[in-house]
Amino acid sequence: MNTGKKFNPKKIQKLTDPGRKVFQNPDLIWDTLNLSAPEILVDIGAGAGFFAMPLSDKVPKATVYACDTAPELIEWMETNIPTRYAGRIRVIRSEENSIPLADGIADLVYMINLHHELDSPLTMLKESRRLLKPGGAILVIDWKKEETPMGPPVSIRISPKTVSEQLQQADFHLVTEHDLLEYHYFVTAKKPGA
C-alpha cells in the first residue's frame, strides 16, 4: 500500500547524490557499529544501494542483501551496481512487512531513511529480529523530527524515542541512541542471545 509516505523512485538522483556523504558518512556509520567480522548484512529499504556498496567494501567477503519493495529501484540496482559487487551484493525484492530470507542468518540488519515510510514499523522490527543471529545488531537511522535543510515533512518523521520504544517492544536489548549525525538520529540495539 502506498500511503503517500513512500519514496518516489522518479527522484532517484536524490539517493545517488554523493553530497549525502557529508551528512550521512558511510565510514562514520561503519566505524560506530564496531562489528567483528560480519558475514551477512541485510539492508532493508536499500534504494539505489547508496549504503550497500560502501558497507560491502568494508567487508568484501561478506554478503549484503539489498532489499527493497519498489520494482523500479530493484531494477535500478540490478542494472547499475557495478559488476565488482557481483555475488557480494544480492538484490532482493521484498514485501512491505516481510523479507524473503531465512531465520537467524544476519550479523547486521540496517534501515536508513526508511523508518518513517513503514506501514507497520513494529512488524518490520520483529521481522528484522527474525533475520538476525543471536547477538546480531540492528541499526535504524532516520531523519530527526525537526526542521532540516532537506528530507521528508517533519509531520511524518518518527522520533528516536519512539524508535527506541519499538525496538524494546520487538524484544531487542542494549538499545542505544548515538549522537553522531547532523540531521539524523542513529539507534542501535542487539538481539539477545550470544
DSSP 97: T
Answer yes or no whether residue 26 interacts with ligand SAM by CB under 6 A.
Answer: no
- Nearest by Cα to 114 from 42, 62, 174: 42
163 binds ligand SAM (CB under 6 A): no
Q: What is the three-class DSSP state of 173? A: strand
Contact pick of 76, 108, 113, 115 for ligand SAM (by CB under 6 A)? 113
| Options 33, 38, 41, 50; binder of ligand SAM; rule CB under 6 A | 50
Task: State the Cα torsion 190-191-192-194 to the nearest 10°.
Answer: -90
Please list the residues that pair with 90 across neighbouring strands: 65
Stretch 89-108: interaction string toward ligand SAM, x if CB under 6 A: -----x-x------------
Q: How many residues bind ligand SAM (CB under 6 A)?
A: 21
Stretch that binds ligand SAM, among 55-63, 66-74, 83-91, 180-188 (CB under 6 A): 66-74
Q: By CB under 6 A, tell whether 74 contacts ligand SAM.
A: no
Binding of ligand SAM by 25 (CB under 6 A): no
**Is residue 142 a contact residue for ligand SAM (CB under 6 A)?**
no
For residue 95, count other CB atoms closer than 10 A to its CB.
10
Separation CA 177–CA 186 (nearest Å): 6
> How far from 176 is each of 3, 24, 47, 139, 146, CA to CA, in Å?
30, 18, 25, 10, 20
- Residue 123 binds ligand SAM, judged by CB under 6 A: no
- Interacting residues toward ligand SAM by CB under 6 A: 6-7, 15, 44-47, 50-51, 67-70, 73, 94, 96, 112-114, 117-118
